[in-house]
């Protein structure tokens, strides 16, 4: 079977996929993996180079559930054209695992998070983001799909060792069998330990709230910053780099990693974890803003910005609050906001292709 090249194996196509896939499909098509999804267009890879792809009409119109459409990490059978400059996806190959969640809308449908993940890293940072109930939800979702979970606690540089121990023990008291590793992108603690967990041909994904350091970890693990990141602006959270698209990345050492945006992955986290309670002083400040629809960025009479100026509210805490809110509202983006993101996708494709060239 000449189609199963070393490149495809390196991208994770192991014996399981080979024996579970109709051999006719492998004979008649090219096998490729989904790197990025955007509505009905895709970037796929055969292990060298990335190719823009679309679904064959038959596949698009016969899929009566989102579960039948390819997601990041999926293997597909495709037809490549014009020197591999674009491709048409004809079939979705069997999945080893699937991470999904129920959508919040009226219809019982699923939002696919990623497919064919071997190990999921759930990341929480050791500051305000740390939350046992949210952690539990992630673990439930991951355990439902026979994926191995590993909990990574980021920003260990911000907390004393006894405080970190305390948090780890609180996790182990609830979930004694889960592996928990504290680490820091800032001082490098346990980065090598995480690197050593990544095995060639295995697929990993990074899950967790916005701002916990998923993309920074990916960059730490890769050793050089291949993903575009913008420096954080002190005054507001506007200059923050934030991941907007799930993306599969092949690591030089052989592992495969999926970075994802920190979004509301699991139910209504805002309500159920009590953002308002956690940040009650910010909520009561926001009630004192001059305008009821104040965005707390640069409006006159903004009680939050005034408190930051006076030094009674720390920028850091306000940014944590914004990150939590973003997480809970990502899925409630209006149609207009989603269209704005579409425009960014063109730029995103270019950056993906550029990254791949630099790291073939
Ligand atoms: N102190 C400290 N800051 C960190 C650490 N890791 C990341 N950060 C900072 O946290 C901020 C957010 O990091 P990102 O890697 O963009 O977070 P993310 O999880 O990818 O966020 P989204 O893409 O929005 O989901 C950045 O300002 C990082 O510099 C860490 O270990 N310690
Ligand atoms: Mg990110
Ligand atoms: Zn305000």
Q: What are the structural domain ranges in the chain?
A: 6-94, 99-267
301 Cα: distance to centroid of ligand 2 (angstroms):
32
Could you tell me the distance, in angstroms and rounded to a whole number, from the CA of residue 240 to the centre of ligand 1? 9
- What is the C-alpha to C-alpha distance for residues 99 and 67, in angstroms, rounded to an integer? 10
Look up the CATH superfamily of 6-94.
Nucleic acid-binding proteins (2.40.50.140)
Ligand 1 atom nearest to 241, measured from its CA: 16
Query: How confident is the model at residue 280, as a pLDDT?
Result: 76
For ligand 3, the distance from its centroid to the CA atom of residue 293, given in whole angstroms, is 8
Q: Which residues line ligand 1 (CB under 6 A)?
A: 154-155, 157-158, 184-186, 210-216, 232, 241-243, 261-262
Q: Which residues surround ligand 3, an ion (CB under 5 A)?
A: 289, 294, 296, 302, 304
Question: Can you give the C-alpha Rg of the chain in angstroms?
Answer: 21
Name the residue among 120, 151, 147 with its Cα closest to residue 134: 151
How many angstroms is it from 244 CA to the middle of ligand 3? 26
Query: Are residues 237 and 327 in contact, defined by beta-carbon separation less than 8 angstroms?
Result: no
Can you give the pLDDT at residue 108? Answer: 55
Question: Is residue 227 within 8 Å of 355, Cβ to Cβ?
Answer: yes
Atom 28 of ligand 1, residue of closest alpha carbon: 213
Judged by its nearest atom, the ligand closest to the C-alpha of residue 208 is 1
CA of 123, closest atom in ligand 1 = 19
The H helix count followed by the E strand count for the chain is: 14, 13
Residues 279 and 274: their CA atoms lie apart, in Å, by 9
pLDDT at 302: 94
Q: How far is the CA of 306 from the centre of ligand 3 (A)?
A: 9
CATH number belonging to domain 99-267: 3.40.50.300
pTM higher than 0.95:
no
> Backbone phi, then psi, for 324, in 5-degree steps?
-65, -40
The one-digit pLDDT tens for each residue of the chain (360 residues) are 445 788 999 999 999 999 999 989 888 889 999 999 987 799 999 988 899 999 999 998 888 888 899 999 999 999 999 999 999 999 999 999 998 876 655 555 677 889 999 999 999 999 888 888 778 778 877 877 779 999 999 999 999 999 999 999 999 887 778 899 999 999 999 999 999 999 999 999 999 888 899 989 998 988 764 554 434 333 334 445 677 788 899 888 889 999 988 755 444 444 444 566 667 788 889 889 998 888 888 889 999 999 999 999 988 888 877 876 766 554 443 333 444 555 555 555 556 556 655 554
Q: How far is ligand 1, taken at its centre, from the CA of residue 211, in Å?
A: 5
Instruction: State the closest ligand 1 atom to the C-alpha of 185, by its place in the atom list counted from 1.
Output: 31
């Amino acid at each position: 079977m000449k189609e199963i090249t070393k490149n495809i194996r390196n991208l994770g196509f192991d014996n399981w996929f080979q024996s579970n896939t109709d051999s006719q499909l492998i004979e008649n098509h090219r096998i490729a993996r989904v790197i990025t999804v955007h509505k009905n267009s895709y970037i796929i890879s055969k292990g060298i180079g990335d190719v823009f792809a679309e679904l064959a009409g038959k596949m698009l119109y016969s899929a009566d559930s989102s579960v039948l459409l390819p997601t990041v990490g999926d293997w597909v059978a495709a037809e490549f054209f014009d020197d591999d400059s674009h491709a048409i996806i004809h079939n979705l190959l069997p999945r080893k695992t699937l991470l999904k969640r129920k959508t919040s809308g009226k219809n019982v449908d699923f939002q696919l998070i990623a497919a064919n993940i071997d190990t999921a890293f759930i990341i929480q940072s050791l500051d305000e983001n740390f939350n046992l109930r949210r952690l539990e939800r992630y673990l439930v979702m991951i355990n439902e799909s026979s994926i191995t979970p590993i909990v990574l606690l980021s920003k260990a540089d911000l907390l004393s060792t006894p405080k970190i121990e305390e948090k780890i023990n609180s996790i182990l008291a609830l979930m004694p069998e889960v592996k928990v590793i504290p680490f820091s992108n800032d001082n490098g603690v346990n980065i090598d330990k995480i690197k050593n967990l990544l095995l060639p041909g295995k697929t990993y994904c990074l899950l967790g709230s916005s701002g916990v350091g998923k993309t920074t970890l990916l960059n730490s693990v890769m050793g050089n910053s291949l993903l575009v990141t913008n420096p954080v602006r002190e005054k507001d959270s506007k200059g923050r780099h934030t991941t907007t698209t799930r993306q599969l990345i092949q690591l030089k050492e052989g592992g495969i990693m999926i970075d994802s945006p920190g979004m509301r992955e699991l139910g209504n986290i805002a309500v159920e974890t009590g953002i308002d309670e956690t940040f009650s002083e910010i909520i009561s400040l926001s009630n004192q803003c001059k305008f009821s629809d104040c965005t707390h960025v640069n409006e006159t009479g903004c009680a939050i910005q005034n408190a930051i100026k006076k030094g009674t509210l720390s920028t850091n805490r306000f940014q944590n609050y914004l990150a939590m809110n973003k997480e809970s509202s990502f899925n409630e983006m209006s149609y207009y906001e989603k269209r704005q993101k579409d425009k960014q996708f063109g730029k995103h494709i270019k950056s993906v292709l550029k990254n791949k060239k630099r790291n073939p």
